[in-house]
Structures are given as structure tokens and as C-alpha cells.
Structure 1
Amino acid sequence: MTISPAIQAYWDQERREIIEHIRRFGVHLVYVSNEVGEECTCCAYLRSVGAERDPVPTEDTPENPPFCYTVGLYGIGHPELLVIGMERDACGTVLNALSGAIHVGRDLVPGEQLTVAGTDLLVEELPNPGQILFDANGFYERPPMASLPALQLTWADGRGRFPWEEGHESGPWPQPRPGEFRADLPG
């Protein structure tokens, strides 16, 4: 597979940004949303240098919810963290707060319940991180079949009910259970 100079330049810049965020903040967050009309940073960069890439017009749907994950926790001996189906600002608040706690010695374990910024969370092991955490695996040079470990943070609705509990209100996007979701790379 031949990689164009424009794509290689983008990847180099992205790697530098990830390193800078990890140095400054202890973690880099990757938020993935496929809203129609929203150009991803890679496509925007390629367009700015005159290279072509066909954007894949998809929408956030129950099968394709937005998600956010960390890059950098694996480097300090902790699994990366993933949140699915939560609004961008809320994801950032939850993941930054937990990443900060991890950096001062907190370890999250599957089955643990906690509350962050008023949101009840359940920590669950993610069985398929290689199908979701593309930037994290790329940063640590891990192939999908030997992915770094990750934990999915399942969040409760405003009344404290988790997705499997009766009366749970999912909001705009339901949360898939760990192992039921995989991200798709653009074509």
C-alpha cells in the first residue's frame, strides 16, 4: 500500500499533537462523530494542502453513535478509557477527570461504580479495543489483533438507571454493551 505524502504529513502532525497533549495534560482525547457536514481533521488537512479524499457521509445513528477515548493511559500502565453515545463536552469532562485521578494513583477496575461530574458510571472491560481505538493502537504501534487494553465507561441516565435497567432513557444514542460496537474506518 502506497501512502501519499499528504496523508503521511497529516499522520506526523497528528502524532506530534498526541505527544504534546500527553506531555501537557497527561492524556489525549479522541472524539469521533460522523455527523453529516462535519469534516474530520484529516479530510480538512488534506483539502488544505490540495490533496483529495472523499469524505464518507454518515450520520450518528444507534448503529453509529459518537464515542470518545483516551490515548496515553496505557503509557503509565493503565487501560485506555472509552465512552460511547455521550455528548462531546460531557465525554471530555468525564475522561479528563478520570485521567487526572489515574495520574495520581487511582486504578479503575471492571465492575467498579463511581460518579463523575454528576454522572453515574460503571467500569467494564472492553473485549474488542482493536476494533475501536485506532488512534491509541496507532500511537503505541499495536496491531488490532494485539490491541492495548481498554475499559468502557457505561453511563446511567439522569435518574441513575443503566442501559439494561427498566425505564432507562438513552438520550439521542443508545449505548452498546461492551463488545457489541465496532468503529468503521472510512472507505
Structure 2
Amino acid sequence: MDERERFDARVTAVVRRYGWFVQYVLGDTCSSTTCGCSRTGVPAYAYSIGLFGLGHPELVVFGLPPDTAGGVINALGRRVRAGGILIPGEVLTFDEWAHRVRPEALPDAGELALGAHRYYRREVPLLQLSYDDRAGRFPWEPDHAAPHLQPRPGTFRPPGPTS
């Protein structure tokens, strides 16, 4: 069994047990505006694999550390598993996280969630979870603290393989 087959088997086992899997994709965007580092500006992101099997679009969130991204997706996955439907434009709150989230339709899932597409052997729909900053502003609003961490739906393209 090669590495991809082992990964696919792990995803399948987790989806069967919990209902979904959270895939985290490393980025290289610095969250500080004053670090002086030479990052290329690719934000990290996480997405679900398995919610489509529950009759719901998969979820993707950008610019959060792994534990936070997984916590957000897991909290919303539990809502979906309990029969909830996340509607684009609705504002969601959490008991365990101070930020608000707004699901947005993602017009082109493309290569963003390859693991989910491979799992279902087709391109599946995605909702992008946009969250507010500490001042309560969403990334499309003026003076948002870090809009570079949350590309607008349909504008992000993962980098290709390095040569």
C-alpha cells in the first residue's frame, strides 16, 4: 500500500467513525504585519471531507492555526450531523470561540479540496467560512485586521508543485 492509499484508508476510517475528516493544508503567510519576513502569501487552510455524504457542502476556512480551524469545522460538522444546514450569508456564533463566522458559496472548488474530491470521486461543493476580526469586522469590510489571511471566495488558487 503506497502513501496515498494509506492516507485514503485513514480518511475513510475517520469519516466512518465521526462523520467527517478535517484536512489541514500548510501555508506560508505570516500573521504579523511587522515581521519583515519574505513569505509568498499563501494562507494555510483546512477543509472537511465527509459532510457531502451527509447531504451538505464541505467546509473550508483560511488563515487559522490547525487546532482552531479543526475546532471550527468540527463544531459546524456537529451542527450538520444534528440536521442543521449552513446557509450562505447567515452569521454563526460559537460558545467556545469569540468570533463570528459567515458561510459563503465558493463558486469554483477547483484544486482547493483535492482530498474531498478524491474521496467522492467527483468535485464536491464547498462553503468558505469567513470569520470576523477582534473588532467584529469581516474580511470584506474596511479596516479588517488581516484580509490577506482570508482570500475572497473563488480568488484563491493553491500553488502548483514545486520543481
The change in CA–CA distance for 1:131 and 1:75 in structure 2 (over 3 A counts) is same
Question: Contact 2:22 / 2:47 at 8 angstroms: preserved in 1?
Answer: yes
| 1:88-103 matched pairs, under 5 angstroms | 88-103=66-81
Percent identity over the alignment is 38
Tell me how far apart the structure 2 counterparts of residues 67 and 20 of structure 1 sit (CA, whole Å): 22
Equivalent in 146, 157, 161 of residue 182 of structure 1: 157
Structure 1: segments with no counterpart, 5+ residues: 1-7, 36-58
Structure 1 residue 34: deviation in Å?
A: 3.9
The change in CA–CA distance for 1:34 and 1:169 in structure 2 (over 3 A counts) is closer
Query: Which of 59-68 and 153-162 deviates more?
Result: 59-68
Q: Which residue matches 1:118?
A: 98
Structure 1 residue 91: deviation in Å?
A: 0.3
Residue 170 (structure 1) aligned with residue 151 (structure 2): no
Instruction: Give the length in aligned residue pairs.
Output: 152
Residue 140 (structure 1) aligned with residue 120 (structure 2): yes
Structure 2: segments with no counterpart, 5+ residues: 29-36
Equivalent in 54, 59, 64 of residue 76 of structure 1: 54
Q: Report the residue type matching 2:72 in the other structure.
A: V
Q: Report the residue type matching 2:3 in the other structure.
A: Y
Tell me how far apart the structure 2 counterparts of residues 127 and 16 of structure 1 sit (CA, whole Å): 29
Tell me how far apart the structure 2 counterparts of residues 61 and 134 of structure 1 sit (CA, whole Å): 24
Q: Report the residue type matching 1:76 in the other structure.
A: L
Tell me how far apart the structure 2 counterparts of residues 34 and 66 of structure 1 sit (CA, whole Å): 4
Q: Higher Cα Rg: structure 1 or 2?
A: 1
Residue 15 (structure 1) aligned with residue 8 (structure 2): yes
The change in CA–CA distance for 1:71 and 1:60 in structure 2 (over 3 A counts) is farther
Q: Report the residue type matching 2:145 in the other structure.
A: E
Provide the alpha-carbon RMSD of the alignment: 2.0
Tell me how far apart the structure 2 counterparts of residues 169 and 62 of structure 1 sit (CA, whole Å): 19
Tell me how far apart the structure 2 counterparts of residues 155 and 131 of structure 1 sit (CA, whole Å): 22
- SS of 2:68 mapped into structure 1: helix
The change in CA–CA distance for 1:87 and 1:130 in structure 2 (over 3 A counts) is same
Question: Contact 2:27 / 2:45 at 8 angstroms: preserved in 1?
Answer: no
Q: Which residue matches 1:50?
A: none
